[in-house]
């Protein structure tokens, strides 16, 4: 004899249970939407930051001592892409698969001369260089006075005694197409953040 199993009647959920479940589902949907939006926003911001840092404002780390006391090894700086530079600007440029950092002393067509004591003259006027600890003639094997070629800049390091720069035929003047950019701001270490000039 076959007996049918007793069916337990199903209870319908109460209104409170339905509302609670509905709130949980809505919360999950809102949470997932907020999470997706946050992730997309962070990815977009990171992509924009990388593009800006690569194409328009590269961040560079300083190596060596040729720019002391203005810049020291290990410091990080932000540069801005530019094609026009003024006397006194600090620029970064490519040299033999490296990036060097020096100060613009003279632009295209200017005449540069340097005394034995290290005083620099541009177009027969002595430069006021408050950023130097002490002037020095340094490693100079160019014939002075020297006229800067077209589309090039004569650059010197701030630590004149040790810097290898436009005074040497090894480096020479910097052509505009080799310039990475003008240094704008020191950003590291944090306690030394300041604009550069």
pLDDT (tens digit per residue) in 48-70: 555 555 555 577 778 888 898 88
pTM for the whole structure: 0.70
- State the average pLDDT for the chain: 84
Instruction: Give the C-alpha separation, 100 to 62, whole Å.
Output: 9
Architecture label for domain 59-195: Ribbon (2.10)
Name the least confident of 13-17, 43-47, 124-128, 151-155: 43-47
Distance, in Å, from the CA atom of 176 to the CA atom of 152, rounded to the nearest integer, reads 6
**Cα 125 from Cα 123, distance rounded (Å):** 6
Measured between alpha carbons, how far is 66 from 139 in angstroms, rounded to an integer?
A: 12
- The pLDDT assigned to 152 comes to 94
Per-residue model confidence as pLDDT tens digits over 61-114: 788 888 988 888 888 888 888 878 899 999 999 998 888 999 999 999 999 999
pLDDT on residue 13: 75
Give the pLDDT mean for 136-146.
90
Report the range of poorest mean pLDDT among 17-21, 140-144, 176-180: 17-21
Give the residue carrying structure tokens 């440029």. 93
Cβ neighbours around 4 below 10 Å, total: 5
Q: Where are the domains of the chain?
A: 14-56, 59-195
In degrees and rounded to multiples of 5, residue 177 shows phi and psi of -70, -15
pLDDT at position 30: 86
* 3-state SS assignment for residue 73: coil
CA distance 125 to 97: 35
Give 121-135 pLDDT, tens digit per residue. Answer: 999 999 999 988 888
Catalytic residues: 66, 102
| Burial (0-12, 13-18, 19+ Cβ within 10 Å), 101 | buried
């Amino acid at each position: 004899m076959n007996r049918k199993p007793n069916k337990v009647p199903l209870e319908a959920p109460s209104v409170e249970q339905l509302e609670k479940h509905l709130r949980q589902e809505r919360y999950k949907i809102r949470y997932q939407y907020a999470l997706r939006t946050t992730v997309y926003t962070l990815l977009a911001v990171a992509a924009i930051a990388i593009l800006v840092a690569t194409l328009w404002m590269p961040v560079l780390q300083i190596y060596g001592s040729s720019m002391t006391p203005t810049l020291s090894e290990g410091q990080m700086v932000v540069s801005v892409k530019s094609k026009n530079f003024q006397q006194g600007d600090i620029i970064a440029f490519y040299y033999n698969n490296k990036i060097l950092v020096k100060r613009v002393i003279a632009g295209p067509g200017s005449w540069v001369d340097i005394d034995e004591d290290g005083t620099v003259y541009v177009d027969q006027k002595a430069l006021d260089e408050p950023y130097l600890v002490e002037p020095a003639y340094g490693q100079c094997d160019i014939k002075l006075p020297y006229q800067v070629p077209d589309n090039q800049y004569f650059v010197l390091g701030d630590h004149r005694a040790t810097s290898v720069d436009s005074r040497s035929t090894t480096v020479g003047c910097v052509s505009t197409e080799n310039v990475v950019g003008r240094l704008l701001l020191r950003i590291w270490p944090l306690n030394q953040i300041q604009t550069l000039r």
